[in-house]
């Protein structure tokens, strides 16, 4: 039986529930970012394709901003993380089958986020992906390139989302993402 729940944007979304009332597990992506623009530019197509495939896509933002570009991509909900909150604790407390995405800039600037991501990566069944340019020292040791080819629909939605974010330009058919290899994970350090 499905029940209705309101997300932070105020839209209704249907949740499939088990007989005991617990939410059924599903595919989930949680994105941690400082602002909306970099998410859309670097990983908007990936998020759009996941949302179109039925994944729950959520975004944790470091500050309040216009979230229309996220809605265009199909993001289910968003949350502004208060500066007093520990982003690392939020990340490390996510369900273990979650895919977590984080910007390289946020990894470099927030030690608690790095530590929380490390804790999550060591015990997770899901994947950890990074967008942006990570430090060269991380590539080949804990990160490996994981380019993502966008669907034609993702290219179209990403184009509109970029316009809504105030950024115009050509959308490349491949997004440069990096994957954290859980078998070789080590702490991310700033350079």
Break the chain into its structural domains and give their ranges: 26-184
In 129-157, which positions are buried (b, 16+ CB within 10 angstroms) versus exposed (e)? bbbbebeeebeeebbeebebebeeebbeb
**What's the pTM?**
0.79
Just give the CATH number of 26-184: 3.40.50.10320
Provide the H-helix boundaries in 56-151: 68-73, 87-92, 104-109, 111-123
Task: Write out pLDDT tens, residues 168-189.
Answer: 778 999 999 998 876 655 555 5
* pLDDT tens figures, 110-139: 778 877 877 777 776 778 898 887 765 455
Compute and round to an integer the Cα radius of gyration of the chain: 16
Q: What is the pLDDT of residue 23?
A: 54
pLDDT in tens, 47-92: 999 999 999 999 998 878 889 999 999 998 888 887 777 788 888 8
Locate tokens 């999550």: which residue? 120
């Amino acid at each position: 039986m499905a029940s209705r729940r309101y997300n932070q944007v105020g839209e209704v979304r249907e949740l499939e529930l088990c007989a005991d009332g617990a939410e059924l597990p599903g595919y989930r992506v949680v994105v941690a970012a400082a602002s909306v623009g970099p998410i859309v530019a670097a990983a908007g197509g990936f998020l759009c394709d996941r949302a179109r495939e039925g994944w729950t896509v959520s975004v944790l933002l470091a500050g309040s901003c216009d979230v229309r570009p996220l809605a265009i991509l199909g993001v289910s909900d968003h949350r502004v993380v208060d500066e007093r909150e520990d982003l690392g604790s939020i990340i490390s407390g996510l369900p273990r089958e979650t895919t977590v995405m984080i910007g390289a800039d946020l990894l470099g600037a927030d030690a608690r986020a790095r530590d929380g991501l490390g804790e999550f990566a060591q015990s997770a069944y899901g994947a950890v992906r990074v967008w942006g340019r990570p430090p060269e020292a991380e590539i080949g040791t804990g990160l490996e390139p994981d380019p993502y080819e966008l669907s034609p629909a993702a290219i179209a939605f990403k184009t509109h989302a970029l316009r809504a974010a105030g950024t115009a330009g050509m959308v490349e058919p491949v997004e440069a993402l990096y994957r954290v290899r859980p078998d070789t994970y080590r702490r991310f350090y700033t350079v």
